[in-house]
Amino acid sequence: MQLKYQQVEQFLLYQLKNGEFKAGDKFYSEAELKKRFEVSSATVIKAINELVSKGLLVRHQGKGTFVSRARNGQVVKIFDRERNNDADEKVKVLSIDKEHDPRILKELGLATGDSYYHIMRLRQANDIPVQLQHTYLVADYFNLKALDNPSYYDSLYERIRDDSGIDLFSTKIDETTNIIFPVPTAESQLLQLDSAQQPAAFIHRHSYLFDNTVIEYVESYKRWDYFELEVKTI
């Protein structure tokens, strides 16, 4: 569980990294942050001091806090090239469970006894299942209303951005793609593969917060006849 100052720091980090402020801009005052997050002065000062120590903010006596001119940024985009760009797409949440599998806890960097939420979603194109995704989300970033309304996470990253201010479309990740054969029985059935001999793309990915802690671990199975992998430097 994150401490309150860490939650404030994490939100401010995303605003800094996603272009809400430019180098040299005056940053929020302590009074603004106290009001915005409904926290104490000590919590706000601790969060700001962490950002100062990372070189993202600088303080000028009598003038306030400013965005460091020395900070560096980097944009990374990762995408699949789909063979049918005109497909009618939809995503359905199949299940949401609170779990504590030691293998997944290790992937998330969590301790024994911690829990996470397992969100299983199926993506369809023209009513053909093309991707099955197992998302293992750190509990701090899960919205409990999804337990009563699983479709809340049909668009997972947009919901996380709305709830937490964290844009997982642009965070640091590591991702590996393999060809898997045979495909596990449950996944093969959900993807409606033609036969046990048909392979699939298996992708596993970690998404990181700016303090390098893992927010999600994802395992995806994709129909190989629907996707092409395109890699570009930008």
Distance CA 139, CA 133 (A): 18
Indicate whether 56 and 169 sit together in one domain: no
Indicate whether 53 and 16 sit together in one domain: yes
* pLDDT number for residue 134: 98
* pLDDT number for residue 136: 98
Instruction: Grade residue 228 by pLDDT with cuts at 50, 70 and 90.
Output: low
Q: Is the pLDDT of residue 23 over 50?
A: yes
Indicate whether 38 and 61 sit together in one domain: yes
The answer to whether 92 touches 121, Cβ cutoff 8 Å, is yes
Indicate whether 184 and 146 sit together in one domain: yes
Q: Which of 67, 92, 122 is the C-terminal boundary of a domain?
A: 67
Q: Cβ–Cβ contacts within 10 Å for residue 67, how many?
A: 20
Predicted TM-score (pTM) of the model is 0.67
Q: Is the pLDDT of residue 196 over 70?
A: no
126-149 per-position pLDDT tens digit: 889 999 999 999 999 999 999 999
Indicate whether 113 and 223 sit together in one domain: yes
Q: Which domain holds residue 15?
A: 4-67
* pLDDT number for residue 78: 45
* pLDDT number for residue 73: 46
* pLDDT number for residue 114: 95
Q: Is the pLDDT of residue 80 over 60?
A: no
Indicate whether 131 and 22 sit together in one domain: no
> What mean pLDDT, rounded, does the chain reach?
86
141-182 per-position pLDDT tens digit: 999 999 999 999 999 999 999 998 888 888 889 998 888 888
- Mean pLDDT, residues 55-81: 68
